[in-house]
Structure 1
Amino acid sequence: MASTYSFDIVSDFDRQEMVNAVDQTVREIKSRYDLKDTKTTVELGEQTITINSDSEFTLDSVSKILREKAAKRNLSQKIFEFGKIESASGSRVRQEITLKKGISQEIAKKISKLIRDEMKKVQPSIQGDAVRVSSKSKDDLQTVMQRLKEEDYPVALQFTNYR
C-alpha cells in the first residue's frame, strides 16, 4: 500500500466534446430560419474558435448557441475567452474566441497558498501548468478537492491522476 496519495489540479477540456459542440452549433445555424441565410461560419482551430457572420446580432446569437451546446456537453464556460468583435470584408463581422487551457503561475500560486494555509498535512507543488497535491491521508485530499470547488477561480479546474 502506498504511503502517500496524490492528485493533480489541471485546467483542461475534452477536445472531442468541443468538436461536437461546434458541429452541433453549425447544424443549428443551418436549420434555424433566422440564421439560415446569414452565411455564418464557425471554425474550430487548435486554440481558437472563429465566428464570421453578417451582423453583430447574429454573431451574438451564434455565440449563445455555442455556449449552450458546450454546457450540454459538460464543458465549462470559463474556457471561453471572447475577443472583441472586428469588421471583416464585405460588411461582415468576425469574433475570435480563445480556448483557455492550463493554470497560470499566478493562479497556481494562489491555489497552493490556500492549500498550505488551510490544510497543514497536505503538500502542494506547482508543476508547469498543473498543481500536484500530496498527502498521507486520502481524506485530506478529498477535503482539498471540496475546498477548491467552493472557490471561484477564473479557470475551470479538474482533478486528475488520483492515486
Structure 2
Amino acid sequence: MPSFDIVSEIDMAEVKNAIDNANRELDTRFDFRGVKASFSFVKDVAKLTAEHDSQLRQLADMLRVHLIKRGVDARAMDLESPSSSGKTWTQTVKFKEGVDQPTSKKLVKLIKDNKMKVQVAIQGEQLRVTGKKRDDLQAVMTLVKGTELEQGFQFNNFRD
C-alpha cells in the first residue's frame, strides 16, 4: 500500500546562511547607520539585538525576507516577546520543527472531515498517511498544502 510521511523540518544551515545575509544587509542599510543592531545564531536560536523595539520589528522582517529567499518557510519562526535591558532591546527567535500533538490532531481531523479514503497515524513528531491509491495520497497532499496552519509541512518517504 502506498504511504508517505507529513513532517515539519528546517535546514538549520540555510537558517544560518539567512542570518549571515541579514547581517550583511544590516551593514549596508542607511537607516541602521550608527545604530548598534545585530543578528546572532547560537544553538538553533537566533537573537536579534537593537536600540529600540521598532528596530527589532524591522530586523524580524529583514530576517523573514532572507529566510524566504533561502527556501525556509517563514511560518517556522517563533518570535518571543522583546525584552529591554537598559538601552538595548533583544528578541529571541526559535524555529518550530516537528509536528506537535495539537497540530497533528488538527491535521487528522481535517483529513477525516474531508472523507479521504486514507488512514493517518501519528508517529511522534510526524504523521504517516497510508491509502490504497496513489491519487488519494496526492489529494491529501494538496489538502494539507492548502491549509493555513502555524507552520509549513513537507512530504517525504513516499512509498508506492
Q: TM-score, normalised by structure 1?
A: 0.90
- Deviation per CA, 1:66-113, whole angstroms, max 9, x where unpaired? 111111122222111111111124x11111112111111111112112
The one-letter amino acid paired with 1:21 is A
Query: Does 2:94 align with 1:98?
Result: yes
The one-letter amino acid paired with 1:13 is I
Specify which of 139, 154, 159 is matched with residue 155 of structure 2. Answer: 159
Gaps of 5+ in 2: none
Specify which of 59, 63, 84 is matched with residue 60 of structure 2. Answer: 63
- Deviation per CA, 1:1-47, whole angstroms, max 9, x where unpaired? xxx11111111212121111101000011122221322212111234
CA pair 150-120 structure 1, distance change in 2 beyond 3 A:
closer
Q: Give the aligned partner of residue 11 of structure 1.
A: 8
Query: Does 2:112 align with 1:116?
Result: yes
Gaps of 5+ in 1: none
Cα distance in 2 between the residues matched to 1:120 and 1:98:
34
Q: CA RMSD in A?
A: 1.5
Cα distance in 1 between the residues matched to 2:54 and 2:108:
42
Q: TM-score, normalised by structure 2?
A: 0.92
Cα distance in 1 between the residues matched to 2:134 and 2:89:
51
Cα distance in 2 between the residues matched to 1:37 and 1:161:
50
Q: Is the 8 A contact 2:12 2:44 kept in 1?
A: no
Give the secondary-structure state (helix, strand or coil) at the position aligned to 1:162.
strand
Specify which of 98, 118, 125 is matched with residue 121 of structure 2. Answer: 125
Cα distance in 2 between the residues matched to 1:151 and 1:46:
30
Cα distance in 2 between the residues matched to 1:120 and 1:80:
31
Query: Does 2:21 align with 1:28?
Result: no
Cα distance in 1 between the residues matched to 2:29 and 2:116:
55
- Deviation per CA, 1:129-163, whole angstroms, max 9, x where unpaired? 11010112111100100111121111211111111
Q: Is the 8 A contact 2:19 2:39 kept in 1?
A: yes
